[in-house]
Amino acid sequence: MSFLDIPEGTDVIEVRKQINQMLSEARKSAKPTKCILCGNTQTSFCNSHSVPQLALRPIADNGMVLHASAAMGFDEEIVDIENGVNKSGTFNYICRNCDGTFFQDYENEANLIKNPTDKMLAEIAVKDMLLLMSKGATEKELAKIQQKKFSCFDNVEDLIGLKELDADEFEEEMLFHKDIADRNETGGYQVLFWKVLPYVIPIAAQSAIALPSDMEGKKVNDVYDYNPNIRMQYMHLCFFPLKNQSVVLAFYHKRDKFYRSLRHQINSSSEDKVLKYLNYLLFAHTENYFISKSVKQEIENSDALQKLSQETNGLPTMGYLNCDNDFGVGYTPVTMDEIPDFLDSKWAVV
C-alpha cells in the first residue's frame, strides 16, 4: 500500500530530483548562524544523530537501516526508505564540540543499562527538542519554496506563523532542559517506564511526543489549540537496541502534570501491555525511528501498520482531509492490538 499514488507515465526520476532539490535548499536555508547550545557563530554544523549511533549499529544490515518512510508506505522510487547508519536521523543544528560533549552521559551503553539519572534524561530531552527545532525550521523554509514554485497554499503566511510559534515553544522547552543538565539538578523527571530487555529489539528510536490522549482515551494535550499562551506538554520515548540487550524508556518532567493519569495507568498495567502500548505510540505519533531489515517483510505485509504510520492524531493520510478520503468521515483509527509488537522477543534481531 503506497502512501504516494504516482500517476502512470510520471517521470519518477524527475519527481525525485525535484523533491531532493527542494529539501536540500530548505535545509540549507534553515541552518542557524550560531550553535543553539553554546551560542558561538558557526560556518558549518555537526552531522548530529537524533538517535545515538550505538543504538543504530546493532540493527544495521551491512550498515543499512530502514527509515520510517518504509513503514509509511512511501514509494521507494521517490523517497529513500533505507540508508546507512552514518546518514540516518541526522540534522545540522549544533557545533561539533557541543555534539561531542553535551550528550556523553546518555550516549553511553554502560550508563543506559543502569537507572537513568536526571542529567541523562535532560540530555535526551534537549536532543529531542533540537530535532524538533531543526525539523520545524526546515518545514518552514520548504513551505516558502513550495509556495514560490507551485503556489500550493491559500495562505502561506498562516502556516509560517504557526511554524514560528512552534519554534519559540521548542526553543523554550530545549533551554528548560538544558538548564537542568547544566546545573545537574535532580528530582525533576518522572520515569513512566524503564526496562532493560535481554534481547535486541529491531527498532531504534528517540522522540518527544505531545500526546493527545492517554491509554484510556482521556485528553492529555489539545494539539489543535493554537493559542500562543498554551504550552504543549511532552513525554519522551526511547528504544535503544544495544549489543546483546535493549533499553526501553519513557519519561516526562514533573511540571507537565497532564501525564499523571498516564503514569498511574502504566503503573497498574502489565509489562507486556505497556510494551505493546509504547510500540503503538512510536508508530502513531513519531517519525524518528529506524528499523532492522529483519522485519521488512512484516512491515510491508501489515496494512494496519502502514495505516497507523500515516495517521496524524487519529486522522488518515497525515491529517490531510479531502474528497479522496471522504474528509476522514467514517475512518476508524488503528488500535495497538492490530499492529505487530516489535518489542516482543519473537522479533529480536539475531
Per-residue confidence (pLDDT) for residue 3, from 0 to 100: 47
Of 136 and 4, the structure prediction assigns the larger pLDDT to: 136
For all residues of the chain together, what is the average pLDDT?
A: 92
pLDDT tens-place string over residues 96-108: 999 999 999 999 9
Longest dimension (CA), the chain: 60
**CA–CA gap between residue 331 and residue 300 (Å, rounded):** 22
**CA–CA gap between residue 108 and residue 61 (Å, rounded):** 22
Helix (H) / strand (E) containing 268? none
**CA–CA gap between residue 166 and residue 77 (Å, rounded):** 32
Residue 321 has pLDDT above 90, yes or no: no
pLDDT tens-place string over residues 25-53: 999 999 999 999 999 999 889 999 999 99
Q: Please give the average per-residue pLDDT across 236-244, as a whole number.
A: 98
Please list the helix, strand and coil fractions of the chain in percent, rounded to the nearest 5, in that order: 45, 15, 40
Judged by DSSP in three states, 205 sits in strand
Per-residue confidence (pLDDT) for residue 229, from 0 to 100: 92
Residue ranges of alpha helices (H) inside the chain are 12-30, 53-56, 68-72, 96-101, 109-112, 118-150, 156-183, 260-267, 271-285, 296-301, 303-309
What pLDDT band is residue 133 in, cutting at 50, 70 and 90? very high
Residue 1 has pLDDT above 50, yes or no: no
